Amino acid sequence: MALQRSLGIHPVICSILVQRGISTFEEARSFFRPQLTDLHDPWLMKDMQKAVERIILAKEKQEKILVFGDYDVDGTTAVACMYRFLKKIHDPLDFYIPHRYREGYGVSKAGIDHAHANGFTLIISVDCGIKSADLIAYAKELGIDFIVCDHHLPDEQLPPAVAILNPKQKDCPYPFKELCGCGVGFKLMSALTKALGLPPDSAMADLDLLATAIAADIVDMADENRILAYYGLQKANQSPNFGIKALTVLSALRGTLNISNLVFMIAPRVNAAGRMDDARKAVQLFISDTYEEALRYAEMLHSDNSDRKEADSSITTEALELIRSRTDWTGRSSTLVFQPHWHKGVVGIVASRLIEHYHRPTIVLTQSGDYAAGSARSVPGFNLYEAIHACREHLLGYGGHFAAAGMTLELDKVELFREKFEEVVAATIHPDMLIPEIVIDHEIRLRDITPTFYNIICQMEPFGPQNLRPVFVVRHVVDTGASRILKETHLRVAIRQEHATITGIGFGMAHLYPLLENGKPVDIVFTIDENEWNGEKNLQLRLIDVRAAAQAS
């Protein structure tokens, strides 16, 4: 293989690179060594000139500017980045995050009224606004201009903003379409840097926040997102934002921060602010001028996250008991559960948890005021939004996309909605979609797992959609006699193949232990990671699945 000859690395890794569209030495160099010089020109984005000119005008006239964003990780980091950037060049400035339950998602009337009452004449919305045509028209009537920085799919009718920055607009020539909301804001800051003659790295000051947004929003880890996440991780490890540093300390994270840490440790704490209370403090965390100030806000988010985990755990347990008690739901193609006392902030997370147990499109509802409201999550390949759209006769409102959605309905319509949703899903879902699928990159032997092999896999970071952490399978391995169950829940394996041995951990997989007993051969699917214990680092397997090995023919 030409790529293997030019790179001199393990043929399995070369094969994985080719599967991911990397077949030449130059493509491999760009992949392993991303360059900021390869970022696209921000002026290619439609309306960029208009947006920059309007901000410069506001600067010259000393207008009050309000940065408006959503309450999730992408929205709060986008607001923090834009606010911190503008603060260097403009003074009459503030930010606004809508309250999740009082105002709902995106641009809100309450937010516009707040801007009007306080004399703001320019609102820059980040990670929202593209679907807010009526509200932005309302703002215009009040004498407030909007610049929209968004990445969600536009409707046919665009809002009457002075500028719309969104690479997904049909007539936008920008070459990369998969930026997150914070990423679109970054392109505006990059253009302003050039227009105002600021130091070239002015827009780069918060790449660690941008990397957090890219990780949390699960956008494609390709093109600009890969470059920005790569350098954002460097900043997160070398000179992090005080907020990132404080959350890292409270999360008890040690060693090098990677995308997985941002997704599973940092992002949930940021999201918890909006889920359990008020997301404004997530922005205050990231714009803190001192570590001590950031730590105070981080402790609030950490507390919110503890409350979130408790609610998430108890509601998931209740929901699973509810499903098991309904024998008439056995064999269904969908799940819809409802309890009026469940916390609205975690129903989406609970829907995802239920899919781990029952692999089918799932809706979790709770009572919100006089109505039922909730969230839905899909299984890979099934268009959830279309299914919910087909049930619209029973809904007061709904929104979302292919994989996730939200809805509101009358309390007495829950049963009708459940049956209609099941009818639609059963009629449209392919049976294969109801079976969990593991995508395996390559089969290897245990002897292939060496520090050199692992180090090259680590250089494939940052991982994410379009560049997932490689998943491997080894076949016909046997227990060395040291495999065991940990804390009644987890599976610790010690396995052998030929003369090679290695250990591995399978969280929540204790029920698979009998497969390893009596020296029976098994096939194991896993990723490779590093375990540090008492100052020693060793490679280990992170188990995904274990099954009895097929009989050799």
**What are the extents of the domains in the chain?**
2-33, 42-301, 326-434, 442-548
Report residue 552's pLDDT band, with 50, 70 and 90 as the boundaries: low
Sequence-ordered alpha helix ranges (H) in 150-206: 181-195
Identify the pLDDT of residue 102.
86
What percent of the chain lies above the pLDDT cut of 70? Answer: 99
Rounded Cα gap, residues 515 and 195, in angstroms: 64
| Residue (of 166, 161, 205, 196) closest to 183 by Cα position | 166
The pTM of this model reads: 0.92
Which residues are within 8 A (CB) of 101 and not within 5 positions of it... i.e. 6 or more apart? 344, 368
45-61: average pLDDT: 98
Average pLDDT, the chain: 94
**Per-residue confidence (pLDDT) for residue 545, from 0 to 100:** 96
Per-residue confidence band for 218, with pLDDT thresholds at 50, 70 and 90: confident
Please report the sign of the dihedral spanned by the C-alpha atoms of residue 511, residue 516, residue 521, residue 527: positive
Q: Length of the chain in residues, anyone?
A: 553
Average pLDDT over residues 168-192: 97
Q: Do the beta carbons of residue 267 and residue 60 sit within 8 Å?
A: no
Q: Would you give the DSSP letter of residue 37?
A: G
Which of the four pLDDT bands, split at 50, 70 and 90, describes residue 4? confident
- Position 553 scores a pLDDT of 42
Better-scored residue on pLDDT, 9 or 144: 144
Tokens 């679109």 correspond to 184
Res 182: pLDDT: 98
**Tens digits of per-residue pLDDT, 120-164?**
999 999 999 999 999 999 999 999 999 999 999 898 999 999 999
% of residues, the chain, pLDDT over 90 = 90
Query: What's the mean pLDDT in 370-399?
Result: 94
- Looking at residue 1, what is its pLDDT? 63
CA distance 469 to 399: 31
Mean pLDDT to the nearest integer, 523-529: 96
pLDDT classification of 100: cutoffs 50, 70, 90: confident
**Residue 270, helix vs strand vs coil:** helix
Q: How far apart are alpha carbons 362 and 503 in whole angstroms?
A: 35
Q: What is the mean pLDDT of residues 229-254?
A: 95
CATH of 42-301, one of 3.90.1640.30, 3.40.50.2300, 3.40.710.10, 3.40.30.10: 3.90.1640.30
At residue 29, does pLDDT exceed 90? yes
Which CATH number is associated with domain 442-548? 2.40.50.460
Write down the residue that tokens 């540093």 correspond to. 245
pLDDT value of residue 126? 98
Q: Is the pLDDT of residue 23 over 50?
A: yes
List Cβ neighbours of 194 (8 Å cut-off, separation of 6 or more): 42, 43
The pLDDT tens digits for 419-430 are 999 999 999 999
Structure confidence at residue 153 (pLDDT): 87
pLDDT in tens, 438-486: 999 999 999 999 999 999 999 999 999 999 999 999 999 999 999 999 9
8 Å CB contact between 192 and 427: no
CA distance 541 to 531: 9
Model pLDDT, residue 65: 98
The model's confidence at residue 3, banded by pLDDT at 50, 70 and 90, is confident
Judged against a pLDDT cut of 90, whether residue 400 lies above it is answered with: no
Which of the four CATH numbers 3.10.310.30, 2.40.30.10, 3.40.1050.10, 3.40.50.20 does domain 326-434 have? 3.10.310.30
Contacts (Cβ under 8 Å, ≥6 apart) of 284: 297
pLDDT band at 517 (very low <50, low <70, confident <90, very high): confident
Segments in 181-290 forming alpha helices (H): 181-195, 207-216, 223-238, 242-250, 259-261, 267-276, 280-286
Pairwise CA distance, residues 12 & 101, whole Å? 49
